[in-house]
Structure 1
């Protein structure tokens, strides 16, 4: 009994579930949401311009945030609905800790991340995406 309590106490904060879904945008054929694992009400703001479409298109994805710790790994859970049909959650890995495409992946705690990407084509289902702070 004691080893179970110790294990669950030590690792309860490690295995976090995604929080509430946040709406990003609606297009004629798609609705997009995201979620994050953080106890702040709005630590990350996401905006797509224009909204992501399944027909193919070009657009930009904007992220607004101030990191509360050094960014070593970062991923998003993306929820997509097409004509009232919900697709499985897609986990999009943005920062892996090494050989990352985005310059903000090495941002330090409290800094204002800047973003540039050399391999941004076909990210998140759009023809060309970029991230900006």
Structure 2
């Protein structure tokens, strides 16, 4: 009976370890650490890579995002929520694909096609206070709340920037 209990405990322990989302580091500097976890249930998790990690007021988003969509990407919108030390500071929805004259080249991609996107954008951010910033990104397609992507990110600012 003791052996059976140990086997059950070991099985539950291994299941708990495998259920923990894998943390992917984006960058680590003397002033900021950034990472994300994939929270969606699609078959292929997205990959995000940042080429630079300069966290000053003229932050350059310079990276690569790749994923294989589970649905056709004709209409797509993102919801983005941001928290600073547990206080929700932003909650917005952004329309990325409308089906006509879209800015992003992945709009119109079909289910199962590999999407590889280079992003080079200059963002003007407010001054960052020392603390922990949490980001929740959810991408939905076809206006029917079909979740295509879900990414939770964390940025830890080690000093006031």
Q: Tell me the TM-score normalized by structure 2.
A: 0.42
Q: As a proportion of its length, which structure holds more strand?
A: 2
The higher radius of gyration belongs to 2
Q: Tell me the TM-score normalized by structure 1.
A: 0.48
